[in-house]
Amino acid sequence: MDLGLYIAATGMVAEQARQDQLSNDLANASTPGFKPDETPQHSFGEMLLANSQGGTAIGSVNTGVALGSTSTNLSASPIMQTGQPLDFAIQGSGFFAVQTAGGIRYTRDGQFSTSAQGTLTDAGGNPVLGQGGAAIKVGAGGNVAAGEIGVFELTAPAKQGENLYGGTVAGKGPGTVQQGSLEQSGVQAAKVMVDMITSMHTFQSGQQAIQAIGQTLQQASTRVGSITGS
pLDDT tens readout for residues 213-230: 777 777 777 776 555 555
> Are residue 160 and residue 216 in the same domain, yes or no?
no
pLDDT of residue 75: 92
Per residue in 25-82, pLDDT tens? 999 999 999 999 888 766 655 545 555 566 666 555 555 676 777 889 999 999 999 9
- Residue 164 amino acid letter: L
Q: Within a domain: residue 188? A: no
Q: Within a domain: residue 42? A: yes
> Are residue 95 and residue 159 in the same domain, yes or no?
yes
Q: Within a domain: residue 50? A: yes
pLDDT of residue 204: 84
Q: Within a domain: residue 189? A: no
> Are residue 93 and residue 163 in the same domain, yes or no?
yes
Residue 6 has pLDDT above 60, yes or no: yes
Q: Within a domain: residue 59? A: yes
Residue 133 domain boundaries: 79-183
> Are residue 178 and residue 217 in the same domain, yes or no?
no
Residue 203 has pLDDT above 60, yes or no: yes
> Are residue 200 and residue 132 in the same domain, yes or no?
no
CA distances in angstroms from 82 to 8, 14, 28, 113, 126, listed in the order given: 48, 39, 19, 14, 22
Q: Within a domain: residue 170? A: yes
Element (H, E) at 46: strand 46-50
CA–CA gap between residue 191 and residue 173 (Å, rounded): 31
> Are residue 130 and residue 160 in the same domain, yes or no?
yes
Residue 117 has pLDDT above 80, yes or no: yes
Per residue in 142-163, pLDDT tens? 899 999 999 999 999 999 999 9
Element (H, E) at 227: helix 189-229
Domain count within the chain: 2
